[in-house]
Structures are given as structure tokens and as C-alpha cells.
Amino acid sequence: MPSGLRPPGRSPNLSALKESVRQLLDLDDETAVMIRQLDCTEPGCPPVETVVAVLPMAGEARRWTLHRPVDQITPADLRDLIQTEPEQAPEGA
């Protein structure tokens, strides 16, 4: 891929959002932060959702879902979500 081009479907602010999650939760470098935009096919679900997952080397994973595309999510949205639902755990946990 030529330099300066981003992979298809990758939001230009994805790195900034990941860094926002790291700062909001005071995460170390060993903790993985994943942000993925998914098509939702379940009845009554918005057509697109963005999942934010925090996967520490030790301890429990945490996960949040926003019902909009990743390119419409701001660091302020993440702050509000994490402050409102600080202990949201993965489904099935």
C-alpha cells in the first residue's frame, strides 16, 4: 500500500480513540485496546455498532458498545461511556 494511505474501512481517528481509552483507564503498555466497527444483524439492532475492548495481560477483559460508526465517535463519547458504565464486562462473563 502506498505510504500515506490507510487501509480500507480504517478510521483516521482510530489511534486517537485507542489512546483516549488508555488515558481514561490509566492502562499500561501491556494491556491491549481494540476498537472494531461491526455490522449488526440482530433484530432491532442498529445497522452498525462499534465495540471497544480492553484486554489486560492479567485480570478480566472489559467491553463497551456504541451504536454508531467508529468515525462518528469522539474521545468525549468514550469518556462519557466509560464514566457511565465503568465496569461493563464481556458478554457471557
Total number of domains constituting the chain: 1
Question: Would residue 31 count as lying in a domain?
Answer: yes
Q: What is the pLDDT of residue 46?
A: 83
Q: Does residue 69 fall inside a structural domain?
A: yes
Predicted structure pTM score: 0.77
- Is 65 a domain residue? yes
Instruction: Give the pLDDT of residue 59.
Output: 85
> Domain range for residue 75?
14-79
Residue 43: burial class (beta carbons within 10 Å; 0-12, 13-18, 19+):
exposed
Residue tagged 464481556 (cell numbers): 90
Question: Could you say which DSSP state residue 87 is in?
Answer: T
**84 in a domain, yes or no?**
no
89 falls within a domain = no
* CB distance 33 to 20 below 8 Å: no
**What's 58's DSSP letter?**
S
pLDDT in tens, the chain (93 residues): 344 444 445 566 888 999 999 999 999 999 999 999 999 788 887 889 999 999 998 888 999 999 889 999 999 999 999 888 876 655 544
State residue 89's pLDDT score: 54
Nearest 10 degrees: Cα torsion 1, 4, 39, 65: 130
